[in-house]
Structure 1
């Protein structure tokens, strides 16, 4: 635990908009167990598969009466394309409680840095489509945000 605290994974804050367009920061999630994933809505395969896994875990945990509710959270790493409406549509396809988040490029960059998530948009093709390379990580925590798993 001391090593995790020293590298400060998830110790920072964020200021984003949720998929309803409401401001959301880490303090708004305090008191909840959170299972978080960083990805992007135009991802052809990995992000949807990982979000499906994340939501399956949340659904399984919901069946356990002794386990407190876990809030699934998706944070985009592609703020150029993933506006509030795009994120809202995307998260509606996975779990009814999945909270999607986006923001300005600077806000998303700050959130990714706070959670030690790397991302980089690749070159655009002739249709202006591109893939965003990013860290595949789940963060499972009750804020103080100290438990995580890299894949």
Structure 2
């Protein structure tokens, strides 16, 4: 019962934050305000005015990962954890299909996926990298200790919660994907259910349309 109540609470919290974030980031168009020229997108929602993120430092298997590390490419950010029984492996499997299409396009500034673990207590930078590589070897991975991790995810409009489970615990978390543009700015969202082929086409179109 406690698990069920906790799950309901985090879903409600994520929904509320998502609605608030959407109203702030995707306001109705005002007369006379022309939107920037962007390609037609199938499943991605891109905002008219990208938002700079607060400075952050995550830890990857190769060292520190900052906004500077992500510049030059469109980046899809997904948060999860390696002990995740369903959402994370399913999402990474779907995104691996998009990553394969990006790789086949052979663009020098091809889109990238960043998988951020929200379970630093169990997930080491090396462990996260090994886990993600099982799905696709080009996946960027990172995590951080608190409060840095919480500050980073909140800046993206994502939430997570540690939930006791017997003698251990699990992590409830947002399944929405966040888009960062080549300036490492918050640029949009992709909400489930995911359509890998459409995601691949959207990100390739954005890559080709963005200097």
TM-score after normalising by structure 1: 0.84
Q: Which has the larger radius of gyration?
A: 2
Structure with the higher helix share, 1 or 2: 2
3-state SS of 1:97 partner: coil
Partner Cα separation in structure 2 for residue 66 and residue 103 of structure 1: 30
Partner Cα separation in structure 2 for residue 144 and residue 7 of structure 1: 6
Aligned to 1:47: 88
Aligned to 1:79: 120
**TM superposition shift of 1:114:** 1.1
**TM superposition shift of 1:147:** 1.8
**Gaps (5+ residues) in structure 1?**
none
Deviations 1:53-90 (A, max 9, x none): 11211211222356941111100111111111221221
The reply to whether residue 35 of structure 1 matches residue 76 of structure 2 is yes
3-state SS of 1:120 partner: strand
- RMSD between aligned alpha carbons? 2.4
Is the Cα–Cα contact under 8 Å of residues 11 and 146 in structure 1 kept in the other structure? no
CA spacing shift, 1:7–1:73, aligned 2, 3 Å: closer
Quick one: which of 41, 53, 61 aligns to 1:19? 61
**Gaps (5+ residues) in structure 2?**
1-24, 28-46, 193-211
Partner Cα separation in structure 2 for residue 132 and residue 69 of structure 1: 31
Partner Cα separation in structure 2 for residue 112 and residue 70 of structure 1: 20
Partner Cα separation in structure 2 for residue 45 and residue 112 of structure 1: 21
How many residues are aligned here?
A: 147
Partner Cα separation in structure 1 for residue 149 and residue 26 of structure 2: 27
TM-score after normalising by structure 2: 0.62
Once superposed, which parts of structure 1, at least 4 consecutive aligned residues long, lie more than 3 Å away? 1-8, 10-13, 65-68
